[in-house]
Chains A and B, each alone.
Chain A
Amino acid sequence: MIIIGEKMNGSIPSVAKAIAERNEKRIRSLAKKQTEAGADYLDVCASVEEDVEVETLKWMLDIVQDVSDVPICLDSPSPRTLVKAIPLVKKPGLINSVSLEGDKIDVIFPVIADTKWNCVALLCDDKGIPNSVERRMEVFEGIMAKAKEYGIAPERLFIDPLVVTLSTDETALTTFADCCRRIKEAYPTIHITSGLSNISFGLPARKLINQAFMVLAMNAGMDSAIVDPTNRDMLGMIYAADCLLERDEFCLEFIGAFREGRIGPEQPKE
């Protein structure tokens, strides 16, 4: 499972405050904790006005890359910001994200085509999030046509089929899972990722919905997630599901994470 650490995001109020105050200590600590928890990528999202976004990202990236060697997931709704921020990142990471919305994909893909950068692609277009599996697969085919045009191999893509809110749409997971299966069938080496907070919006005990979603989505072929890697319960669920899905030979990753104290009941500090 490829875990993208979600905590360094200016849309989280406490992080927004840290960014506004240029609180270096806070950003440093977020980077360090997620690295120790075993994140495969660290998402860096400024969530500020576009005219100050690149400089804000630069400030964040300098701190993060000083404390962590984990690849960066460069996160912005603006493709122009992303293009400007790429040179600020020390080694190729993950672009978050493109879609068939506006000219996003035509701005980003040519820039990363001949690099080792990977890219998240959302299954939406100018009309928003398609509500049927068929329509989402049309968007997917549109994205794959662009990838082929620019010579970007499927294994460099992290498709986010987009999860909607369960409380207002009971097909939220089933539609998502159908998309996952069809995508993986067509391109076995492609990655599938997702955030988790949308699915449980408007429901009580959201953690339970989030965990159940994670397991069912993994079963459908999702092999990455944008989550809080310091969330022990969720991380434990991910490791356990990987074992059960034959993605962790001899459960050694699971045992390793347990031994490092990253999953399972907290051991009393000695």
Chain B
Amino acid sequence: MSKLQEVAAAVEKGKSKIVAGLVEEALAEGSSAVEILNSMIDAMSVVGEKFQRNEIFVPEMLVAARAMKKGVEPLKPLLADAGAPKAGKVIIGTVAGDLHDIGKNLVAMMIESAGFEVIDLGVDVPAEKFVEAVENDPEVNIVAVSALLTTTMPSMKTVVEALNASPARSRFKIMVGGAPITQEFCDEIGADYYTTDAASAAQKAKEIA
């Protein structure tokens, strides 16, 4: 097994204690920071696929993401020096009136593991705050909006309407998700993409960024 494969395997299995060491070894053997990062991103997409097929469970996805975080640490200064392009920048939050954050956090984590920078606005986020965040940061190319209750679905509609009215609208896509959300609802309120779970959200983000 090559060092890059070892790094990927350690991320996939969630071996956070050994990942950073393996990354250092891969660097010493001549792999570039970008190559190593990509091997970890690929490993996370394998993890996402396994999760979608119900082969692994939420905690296993969490430990894999935690392992990746450990692996990225030694790469950070190198990636900054190399001016390596990011996959994109994502703003994420749960809509006003809704305090649920488990699903939203999973999505944030999986998107981050796919190589994005993620700005998490938290829960109970009013529409203006979404708009302000995206307008103040020209690098943002995806806004991900979560709602977990049928009673807060109208809130999601408000957020999407406010975002659609923004002059910056052409440079970002809107993704929506949450237990009661459907493709029909996504179309109806004028959002761009709906995905069913954290792994497919990360996949979709990679596709559209």
Give residues of chain B (60-109) contacting chain A, Cβ–Cβ below 8 Å.
60, 62-63
Residues of A within 8 A of B57 (CB): 251, 255
Closest-by-CB residue of A relative to B61 is A250
Interface residue A252 (Cβ < 8 Å from any Cβ of B): yes
Task: Tell me the smallest distance from the CB of B67 to a CB of chain A, in Å.
Answer: 11
User: How would you classify the secondary structure of chain A's contact residues: helix, strand, loop or mixed?
Assistant: helix
Apart from A250-B14, A252-B14, A255-B59: 11 A-B pairs, beta carbons within 8 A: A250-B59, A250-B60, A250-B62, A250-B63, A251-B57, A251-B59, A252-B59, A252-B60, A252-B63, A255-B57, A255-B60
Report 7 cross-chain contacts, Cβ distance below 8 Å, ordered by A residue: A250-B14, A250-B59, A250-B63, A251-B59, A252-B14, A252-B59, A252-B63
Residues of B within 8 A of A251 (CB): 57, 59
Task: Tell me the smallest distance from the CB of A260 to a CB of chain B, in Å.
Answer: 14
CA of A250 to CA of B66 in the docked complex: distance in angstroms?
A: 11
Binding site for B on A (CB under 8 A): 250-252, 255
CA of A251 to CA of B61 in the docked complex: distance in angstroms?
A: 12
Residues of A within 8 A of B59 (CB): 250-252, 255
CA of A252 to CA of B57 in the docked complex: distance in angstroms?
A: 9
Residues of B within 8 A of A252 (CB): 14, 59-60, 63
CA of A255 to CA of B62 in the docked complex: distance in angstroms?
A: 13
Residues of A within 8 A of B60 (CB): 250, 252, 255
Residues of A within 8 A of B62 (CB): 250
Task: Tell me the smallest distance from the CB of B197 to a CB of chain A, in Å.
Answer: 18
The 7 closest A-B pairs by CB, nearest first: A250-B59, A251-B59, A250-B63, A255-B57, A250-B62, A252-B59, A255-B60
Closest-by-CB residue of B relative to A243 is B59
Task: Tell me the smallest distance from the CB of A257 to a CB of chain B, in Å.
Answer: 12
Closest-by-CB residue of A relative to B66 is A250
Task: Tell me the smallest distance from the CB of A93 to a CB of chain B, in Å.
Answer: 30
CA of A250 to CA of B14 in the docked complex: distance in angstroms?
A: 11
CA of A250 to CA of B15 in the docked complex: distance in angstroms?
A: 13
Task: Tell me the smallest distance from the CB of B110 to a CB of chain A, in Å.
Answer: 16
Closest-by-CB residue of A relative to B59 is A250
Task: Tell me the smallest distance from the CB of A96 to a CB of chain B, in Å.
Answer: 35
CA of A252 to CA of B62 in the docked complex: distance in angstroms?
A: 11
Interface 0/1 of B30-73, CB less than 8 Å to A? 00000000000000000000000000010110110000000000
Closest-by-CB residue of B relative to A256 is B60
Which of A250, A251, A252, A255 has the largest count of B CB atoms less than 10 A from its CB?
A: A250
CA of A252 to CA of B59 in the docked complex: distance in angstroms?
A: 7
Residues of A within 8 A of B63 (CB): 250, 252
Task: Tell me the smallest distance from the CB of A173 to a CB of chain B, in Å.
Answer: 31
Task: Tell me the smallest distance from the CB of B14 to a CB of chain A, in Å.
Answer: 8
CA of A262 to CA of B111 in the docked complex: distance in angstroms?
A: 34
Task: Tell me the smallest distance from the CB of A157 to a CB of chain B, in Å.
Answer: 30
Task: Tell me the smallest distance from the CB of B170 to a CB of chain A, in Å.
Answer: 41
CA of A250 to CA of B62 in the docked complex: distance in angstroms?
A: 8
CA of A252 to CA of B60 in the docked complex: distance in angstroms?
A: 7
Residues of B within 8 A of A250 (CB): 14, 59-60, 62-63
Residues of A within 8 A of B14 (CB): 250, 252
Give residues of chain B (164-189) contacting chain A, Cβ–Cβ below 8 Å.
none
Interface 0/1 of B112-126, CB less than 8 Å to A? 000000000000000
Residues of B within 8 A of A255 (CB): 57, 59-60
Task: Tell me the smallest distance from the CB of A249 to a CB of chain B, in Å.
Answer: 9
CA of A220 to CA of B63 in the docked complex: distance in angstroms?
A: 29
CA of A243 to CA of B62 in the docked complex: distance in angstroms?
A: 16
Task: Tell me the smallest distance from the CB of B120 to a CB of chain A, in Å.
Answer: 21
CA of A125 to CA of B63 in the docked complex: distance in angstroms?
A: 48
CA of A252 to CA of B64 in the docked complex: distance in angstroms?
A: 12
Which of B14, B59, B63 has the largest count of A CB atoms less than 10 A from its CB?
A: B59
Task: Tell me the smallest distance from the CB of B68 to a CB of chain A, in Å.
Answer: 15
CA of A242 to CA of B77 in the docked complex: distance in angstroms?
A: 40
Task: Tell me the smallest distance from the CB of B149 to a CB of chain A, in Å.
Answer: 26
Closest-by-CB residue of A relative to B60 is A255
CA of A250 to CA of B60 in the docked complex: distance in angstroms?
A: 7
Task: Tell me the smallest distance from the CB of A32 to a CB of chain B, in Å.
Answer: 29
CA of A264 to CA of B129 in the docked complex: distance in angstroms?
A: 45
Task: Tell me the smallest distance from the CB of A187 to a CB of chain B, in Å.
Answer: 29
